[in-house]
Structure 1
Amino acid sequence: MVWLFSLRHRSWLNWAVWVLACGSIIAFAFMTGSWAFTSYYLRYVLLGLFTVVAVFSYYRTKRSNLHARTRDSRIIVPSAFLLLFVVLDALAIASYYPSGKTFDVAFPFRSGTYYVLQGGVNIVTNPFHALGDNKLAIDIVKLNALGNRADGIAPRALSAYRIFGEKLYSPCQGSIFEVRDSLPDNPPGNPDIEHPEGNYIVLKCAKGKILMAHLRRGSIRVAPGDVVTMGQPLAEIGNSGNTLEPHLHIDATKDGMAIGLTFDGQSLSINSLIKRT
């Protein structure tokens, strides 16, 4: 936006290419930025600011270049940015459309507004998991009224995070395959890299196994072999394991292979918002 605002465009072609290039970068930030660290709603402010800057640059170009020739060598750099970010934007959009079979389950939380901190089917929207064991895993947090996942940008108290202590419900009917409930909840910013999942539940359902990780110590209500129904309370969200702050890590496997999850028919990616009443 600073580029677009400060440049004096020599031609309409120059202006159009710069607007498209900057717009593609703004679109990428809108779709893939981790907005919940400040406010989810700031992404719309970004779009508004870009619109104002684009209109301003349009009128300035109109006043100063009424008879300008369209040939301009300064479009090479913005053209390169445009091509790059069009590809990245396409990948961000594609992350909402998993290929192959998916496993549809119920959303595991009740009331409130929930946000996908990381998710999707490719490295653009799900970089941490794309390089790990399950590239289709999803990280979920809860938002407050301001669209932030916590009271502040990086609070030191676990209780400041909206999802900490939130009740987790079974996303499907099945049996408990595996449980761990002995690890402490780490202070924010101090991950336990030796125990990546932290406290967790593995739930065996008809279509595969679901891992729900980073649970609160002492909160798990089930044991291996228990049969559970969809919507049954299972545990609370904590901050155990390899995690910087409280969130739910959830993924699914079938025959040892990662499989995509959909929730009540909805495919989720980074910045997806789920409102439950």
Structure 2
Amino acid sequence: MSGILPIAFAAYPILLSGVGFAWLLTFPFRSWANWFVRLLACGNIIVFAFMTGPWAFTSYYLRYVVLWLFAVAAVFSYFRARRNSQHFSAGDNRLPMPSILVLLPFLVLNALAIGSNYPAGKTAELAFPLRSGTYYVLQGGNSRITNPFHALSNSKLAVDIVKLNSLGNRAHGIGPRGLGAYEIFGEKLYSPCRGVVFKVRADLPDNPPGHPDTGQPEGNYVVLKCAEADVFMAHLKRGSIKVAEGEVVALGQQLAEIGNSGNTSEPHLHIDAKKDGVEQAIRFNGQSLSINSVVIRK
């Protein structure tokens, strides 16, 4: 089952976009109102896939190709409707209920996805903890739409980060079996704030991809007590942690390397923050991150 998940994640946004394209291009239009509402409904399906689909399982850049193809499909459907407009009947000028029933929920979902970039309340202001590369948010934000797995846990505002290669994928392939095929594996982790190391675990093994350790969900981790918040960074590489409990660390000091320990199917950095036991959204260098956010570090 675990080997199927990367394929499912890769296929999901492509199939959802395909539904939007097919619905726009294959159904007959009986009025301009029918065409316009159908265009809005299909457009919102495409936008939802664009904003919330896990595109890094194929290519982050593919999402922009899908937007371009939708623009082409919209123009094509317009000329198709125009060619058939002489057959439009005044009696068919009613708003099409199937299109409206699809449009309304996708409008709500897209509003939630956009809102996930603007967390309410206090936020923890941290420095981005990775360097030299293009980094991608697998899930994050304050919405169940953009942060679905964390929404089921006690870290609803956590962020999961991977690294992209030149093709916009987080690995060499959809679901490679070797840890070294994942761009972020072994990546150096730096302190996002000045603080004191509160807790460390460093001895758990790195799991083969697709074989999470559900008994030790955090894996290897470092917890920093900083003025901004208590910062928790998990799924670190075995034997890579360079700090000890009670040690004072400077902003930007190397802490560890990214691994695949704990309840994780593939290498990534999990990071969350709490202040006085209350979870806070994180802003990295003044920027809030949600799913499909990209951070370029040179």
TM-score (norm 2): 0.91
Q: What's 1:111 paired with?
A: 132
| AA partner of residue 49 (structure 2) | A
Runs of 4+ in structure 1 over 6 Å off: none
1:259 to 246, 265, 280: 280
Partner SS for 2:137:
strand
Which one has a larger percent helix, Structure 1 or Structure 2?
Answer: 2
In structure 1, distance between residues paired with 2:190 and 2:227: 17
Instruction: Find out whether 1:33 has 2:64 as its counterpart.
Output: no
Instruction: Find out whether 1:62 has 2:62 as its counterpart.
Output: no
Instruction: Find out whether 1:129 has 2:150 as its counterpart.
Output: yes
In structure 2, distance between residues paired with 1:32 and 1:164: 24
Tell me, yes or no, if the aligned pair for 2:37 and 2:95 is still in contact at 8 Å.
no
In structure 2, distance between residues paired with 1:255 and 1:113: 32
Tell me, yes or no, if the aligned pair for 2:235 and 2:260 is still in contact at 8 Å.
yes
How many Å apart are 1:67 and its aligned residue?
A: 6.2
| AA partner of residue 64 (structure 1) | N
Instruction: Find out whether 1:165 has 2:186 as its counterpart.
Output: yes
CA displacement, residues 6-35 of structure 1 (integer Å, 9 cap, x when unaligned): 112111001001000000010000000000
CA displacement, residues 206-242 of structure 1 (integer Å, 9 cap, x when unaligned): 1220000000000000000000000000000000000
Trace 1:232-271 onto structure 2 (pairs within 5 A).
232-271=253-292
Instruction: Find out whether 1:215 has 2:250 as its counterpart.
Output: no
| AA partner of residue 256 (structure 2) | A
Q: What's 1:91 paired with?
A: 112
In structure 2, distance between residues paired with 1:197 and 1:66: 64
Runs of 5+ consecutive residues of structure 1 not aligned to the other structure: none
| AA partner of residue 194 (structure 1) | G
TM-score (norm 1): 0.98
In structure 1, distance between residues paired with 2:132 and 2:288: 19
In structure 1, distance between residues paired with 2:47 and 2:96: 20
Aligned length, in residue pairs: 277
Q: What's 1:45 paired with?
A: 65
How many Å apart are 1:74 and its aligned residue?
A: 7.2
CA displacement, residues 74-94 of structure 1 (integer Å, 9 cap, x when unaligned): 711110110000000000000
Q: Identity of counterpart residues, as a percentage?
A: 65
CA displacement, residues 117-154 of structure 1 (integer Å, 9 cap, x when unaligned): 00000101001001101100000000000000000000
Q: CA RMSD in A?
A: 1.0
| AA partner of residue 15 (structure 1) | W
